[in-house]
Structure 1
Amino acid sequence: MDELDLIRDRAETVGFAPAEHLAPARERLLAAARGERRHRSRRWVWLGGASVGLAAAITAVVTLAPADQVGVGPAVAHADPVKVLTAAADTALKDPGKPPRPDQFLYVKTEYTIPPNREVWLSVDGTRDSLIGSAKEGGCRNGKAPMYGTNDPRAEGTLQDCTPKTIYRTDLPTTADAMLAYLYGKEADRAGRAGYIGKAVYTLAYEQVLQPASYAALFEAAAKVPGLTALDHVTDGAGRPGVGIEFPVSSGSSPKAQPIVLVFDATTYQFLGTTDSAVTVKTYVDAVGQRP
């Protein structure tokens, strides 16, 4: 690693300080370099020592600002969570949202920070057999669906009562208040249920398809949830950078519970996934097993 690589590495790790703090740090940087040179006679020794001195000085330059102004790693973002989610709603509303044919399948590829990844082929109208990873799921036809993957071989393929479930949701609210009421359901303690709302938003945005107005309402409703935090310098499960919206862990959760962080593109505000997972492909195909 040369000096420029070192600078880039340190800068990306700890962020940048405001301009008014840079002058004193610059003087320390130059002083450190001059001091290193006076005490090192051989060029290769000076370069090695200067790298260490530069690293320390660079750290001083980029971390001079107070902690609430400069983030280290995934720190609090300058953006407001409400503004991020509102921008995400605007982006979702602009999506043309072409309806699929009932006989098609929704193909979704999800990548995780810890493999394996996930692929699903879900029947749009719920009447055809779907495939979730390697597991087959029976479609509901005439009120009956075949059973697959049972522990009892004798039950394999036998029919059970069912109701078709479409993944193209036209039944969801199209306003923020109505969507928020839908997400909360019968939960009375709204202040302590933010974590559950985050998971509900995640579920609807992943392997289902909403109309553009409902997608927009989903993110606008999320913006009304109390206790959210915006995070800079996060990546989704596929390593794509973005801005994160952290939903606090709900009260009464396990001490090991981690907050869910939804990740949005920092420029377009398109929903990318979470810090643990990422929707990398989401489209319609004509048959199970087909990839775009």
Structure 2
Amino acid sequence: MDDLDLIRERAETVGFASPEHLTPARERLLAAARGERRRRPGRLFWAAGASIGLAAAITGVVALAPAEQVGIGAGVAHADPVKVLTEAASAALKEPAKPPRPDQFLYVRTEEPEHHVREVWFSVDGTRDSLIGGFKEGGCRNGKAPMYGTNDPRKEGMLEDCAPRSVYRTDLPTTADAMLAYLEAQAGDRKGDVNSMGKDVYHLAYEQVLPPASYAALFEAAARVPGLTALDHVTDAAGRPGVGITWPVSPGSSPKATPVVLVFDAKTYQFLGTPETAVTVKTFVDEVGQRP
């Protein structure tokens, strides 16, 4: 295989960048060429290493554009899933611990494609009535909660047995080992289903709040799960760019099963959501209907 064959093979593998991306890449290419050339009396030639260096420079030119623009698919990524999740854990630990008051509400605003917005107000201690996407949910007081939005009007407001659930999860582990064991225990008969574990991680980071140490443990535990991949140039449902961590679908799953993709900010490593649902606001407020 000669130099041109090698270059041609590299170009066919990764595709071509758009013209606006070529200028800086061309400068790198020329610099690589100047650095690799050697002179012999009477003629200019390329050393064997120069072909490899030039091919690498060519790769830099053709792979400069985002994956979705050069036609090689979002699966070609430079980010490492372990590094991304480890950095997400470190970022979580830097967040100040601000426990809410029991009488407050967790307000979460999420956005889905085409700007569909969902808002929820969850009672922090679970004893007050919550509002979830326009539907009222009864708070659990003295082991009883009123029923709302039932199909049978006669049952509206009737009491049913309950146990209060807090959306501020102080009951979760604060170490990676313990969190991984917790996630595996939650799997039950789904044990070994990596995609299912990804959904559990997502739900903990979605419309609940964890203390910083538990958030860090969650992402550190996720980093230990085998088979994860990182996707560059991913956007969440609100259109915010980031890096995606994909949880593979287990063998034997339904053909309709799709992998869970968690999106993190590529600079701050803050959890943003997924390509289907983006968390745009998450904070505590004093009453239902209040917005920050």
TM-score normalized with structure 2 length = 0.77
| Separation of aligned partners in 1, 2:89 and 2:162 | 34
1:275 CA drift (Å): 1.5
1:122 pairs with 2:131: no
1:92 CA drift (Å): 0.4
1:62 CA drift (Å): 2.7
1:61 CA drift (Å): 4.6
2:28 — aligned with what? 19
1:125 CA drift (Å): 0.3
- Structure 1 stretches of 4+ moved >3 Å: 16-24, 70-73, 186-192
Instruction: Write out per-residue CA displacement over residues 209-252 of structure 1, whole angstroms, 9 at most, x where no aligned residue.
Output: 10100000000000011100011000011000001100001233
- Cα-Cα RMSD: 3.0
2:280 — aligned with what? 280
The change in CA–CA distance for 1:268 and 1:286 in structure 2 (over 3 A counts) is same
Amino acid in structure 2 at the alignment position of 1:165: R
2:270 — aligned with what? 270
| 3-state SS, counterpart of residue 116 of structure 2 | coil
The change in CA–CA distance for 1:178 and 1:255 in structure 2 (over 3 A counts) is same
The change in CA–CA distance for 1:151 and 1:88 in structure 2 (over 3 A counts) is same
The change in CA–CA distance for 1:188 and 1:154 in structure 2 (over 3 A counts) is closer
Q: Is the 8 A contact 1:110 1:118 kept in 2?
A: yes
1:78 CA drift (Å): 1.3
Instruction: Write out per-residue CA displacement over residues 187-222 of structure 1, whole angstroms, 9 at most, x where no aligned residue.
Output: 589984110111001000011110100000000000
Identical aligned residues as a percent: 73
| 3-state SS, counterpart of residue 126 of structure 1 | coil
The change in CA–CA distance for 1:190 and 1:157 in structure 2 (over 3 A counts) is closer
Q: Is the 8 A contact 2:103 2:124 kept in 1?
A: yes
| Separation of aligned partners in 1, 2:81 and 2:261 | 12
TM-score normalized with structure 1 length = 0.77
| Separation of aligned partners in 2, 1:149 and 1:7 | 57
1:137 pairs with 2:146: no
2:236 — aligned with what? 236
Amino acid in structure 2 at the alignment position of 1:145: A
1:7 CA drift (Å): 4.0
1:97 CA drift (Å): 2.3
2:5 — aligned with what? none
Residues 157-168 of structure 1 mapped to structure 2, 5 A cutoff = 157-168=157-168
The change in CA–CA distance for 1:188 and 1:286 in structure 2 (over 3 A counts) is closer
1:186 CA drift (Å): 6.1
1:107 pairs with 2:107: yes
1:64 CA drift (Å): 8.8
1:257 CA drift (Å): 1.1
Amino acid in structure 2 at the alignment position of 1:230: A
1:172 — aligned with what? 172
Residues 50-129 of structure 1 mapped to structure 2, 5 A cutoff = 61-63=61-63, 72-129=72-129
Amino acid in structure 1 at the alignment position of 2:28: A
| 3-state SS, counterpart of residue 168 of structure 1 | coil
Amino acid in structure 2 at the alignment position of 1:263: V
1:259 pairs with 2:259: yes
| Separation of aligned partners in 2, 1:22 and 1:189 | 58
| 3-state SS, counterpart of residue 103 of structure 1 | coil
1:224 pairs with 2:224: yes
Amino acid in structure 2 at the alignment position of 1:286: D
The change in CA–CA distance for 1:268 and 1:186 in structure 2 (over 3 A counts) is closer
| Separation of aligned partners in 1, 2:19 and 2:229 | 29
| Separation of aligned partners in 2, 1:73 and 1:234 | 11
1:276 CA drift (Å): 1.4
2:204 — aligned with what? 204
Across the two proteins, how many residue pairs are aligned to each other? Answer: 246
Instruction: Write out per-residue CA displacement over residues 127-170 of structure 1, whole angstroms, 9 at most, x where no aligned residue.
Output: 00000011100000011100001000000000001100000000
Q: Is the 8 A contact 1:86 1:219 kept in 2?
A: yes
| Separation of aligned partners in 2, 1:132 and 1:7 | 48
Q: Is the 8 A contact 2:138 2:147 kept in 1?
A: yes
The change in CA–CA distance for 1:254 and 1:213 in structure 2 (over 3 A counts) is same
Instruction: Write out per-residue CA displacement over residues 233-290 of structure 1, whole angstroms, 9 at most, x where no aligned residue.
Output: 0001100000110000123321011111101111111111111111000001111011
